[in-house]
Amino acid sequence: MRAQLKPLSEQVIVITGATSGIGLATAREAARRGAKLVLVARDERALSALGDELRQRQCEALAIAADVGDEAAVQRVSADAIARFGHYDTWVNNAGVSIYGRLDDATMAENRRLFDTNFWGVVHGALAARRHLRGHGGAIITVGSVASDLSLPLQGMYSASKHAVKGFIDALRVESDNEGAPVSITLIKPASVSTMLTEHARNYLPQKPALPPPVYAPKVVADAILHAAAHPVRDVYVGEPSVAGSTFMSIAPGMTDKLLQTFVINMQQRREAEDRPDNGNLFKPAEHGVLRESPEDSGFTLRHSPYTEVMTRWNGTMDFLLRGFGR
């Protein structure tokens, strides 16, 4: 059964990792387009500040402090959203953390904690959302990465978690389609995005971590997420390097490995010594009450991805035509 998705102005949208980066940009843009929101993050002060900001824009928003790695907490989010609004239409799995360093640098406790957020957080959210959306339809949207298709050296465990997310989401989609559930399941695969990921990551490098250029603004990904909330789509590559990297890995994996080894290791290290007083947000929020989409020194970011814009518009056109033929 094809999912029939509502216009954004008629939707209730759950967003995890809502207080920074892509989640924050998505919340602000969804509010601007008239959606009701359920905002999920660990930092209660930041959540409260975001809720106040959006309510001043006449957006009806419910803020819930929860750790997506805790299955019971995610189930409470789903229940609280239904209690407040009667239902929700879209669930966005966005919360994520990273570790910079070689694979034998981090402790197993750190690696497991990363998987608790990046992988198990997606599993908890997607399964809770599907149980609810089976009844009336909707969308489950998960923020993966170009690292869902290739592995980034110095972010090996992050890449492993994004590979696991892709495998889980692909299997969930096939099972949902097989049972006829009216649920659209989308994986978003961004290239480098100017979020707080590098500042919040656990870092074992002597230098500050960096993102391989080009780097896109969080709103580019937010627009892709909100497109998928209103138009059923399987995958969305955000940024030209995402589709290029995934394509090259599939047709020339050995050559891609050489390119990653030659260029990407250096591209992920800035020419500045690491000097943070803390070391990331694996186990607790890195900052309290601070809402930031991008670092203060984010530099130049691309605000458009021609490839992504063309593909999402094409998908929207095809969806319109299919609806016209009664599908």
Average pLDDT over residues 32-51: 97
**First-to-final CA distance of the chain:** 9
Do the Cβ atoms of 208 and 198 come closer than 8 Å?
yes
Average pLDDT over residues 261-266: 93
Q: Which of 59-68, 77-86, 107-116, 284-293 has the lowest mean pLDDT?
A: 284-293
pLDDT at 324 over 60: no
Catalytic residue among 100, 158, 216, 237: 158
- Alpha-carbon distance 285 to 149, whole Å? 28
Structure token digits, residue 192? 């480098």
- Does the active-site annotation cover 204? no
Per-residue CA distances from 166 to 144, 272, 316 (Å): 7, 34, 23
Q: What percent of the chain has pLDDT over 70?
A: 94
Place of tokens 């230098």: 207
Q: Which of 171, 191, 163, 84 is nearest to 126 (CA)?
A: 171
173 vs 277, which has greater pLDDT?
173
φ/ψ bin of 37: left (φ > 0), alpha (ψ from -120 to 50), beta (otherwise): beta
Average pLDDT over residues 249-262: 93
Which pLDDT score, from 0 to 100, does residue 166 have?
Answer: 98
Structure token digits, residue 49? 């500040």
pLDDT band at 18 (very low <50, low <70, confident <90, very high): very high
Do the Cβ atoms of 152 and 109 come closer than 8 Å?
no
Do the Cβ atoms of 69 and 116 come closer than 8 Å?
yes
Domains and CATH numbers, the chain: 8-272 (3.40.50.720)
pLDDT at 17 over 70: yes
Which pLDDT score, from 0 to 100, does residue 296 have?
Answer: 76
Q: Nearest 5 degrees, angle CA 271-CA 288-CA 31?
A: 100
pLDDT at 209 over 80: yes
Q: How many residues does the chain have?
A: 327
pLDDT at 171 over 70: yes
Residues 6+ apart with CB under 8 A from 258: none
Structure token digits, residue 252? 């020339």
Task: Specify the amino acid at residue 203.
Answer: N
- Alpha-carbon distance 21 to 294, whole Å? 6
Which pLDDT score, from 0 to 100, does residue 315 have?
Answer: 66
Rounded to 10 degrees, the C-alpha dihedral 97/98/104/110 comes to -20
Burial class (CB in 10 A: 0-12, 13-18, 19+), 97: buried
Residues 6+ apart with CB under 8 A from 105: 99, 204
Which pLDDT score, from 0 to 100, does residue 300 have?
Answer: 82
- Alpha-carbon distance 186 to 24, whole Å? 19
Considering the chain, what is the average pLDDT of its residues?
A: 93
Do the Cβ atoms of 200 and 249 come closer than 8 Å?
no
- Alpha-carbon distance 250 to 260, whole Å? 14
pLDDT band at 318 (very low <50, low <70, confident <90, very high): very low
Q: Which of 23-27, 126-130, 305-309 has the lowest mean pLDDT?
A: 305-309
295 vs 238, which has greater pLDDT?
238
pLDDT at 317 over 90: no
143-161: pLDDT as tens digits: 999 999 999 999 999 999 9
Point out which residues pair with 139 in neighbouring strands: 90, 184
pLDDT at 192 over 60: yes
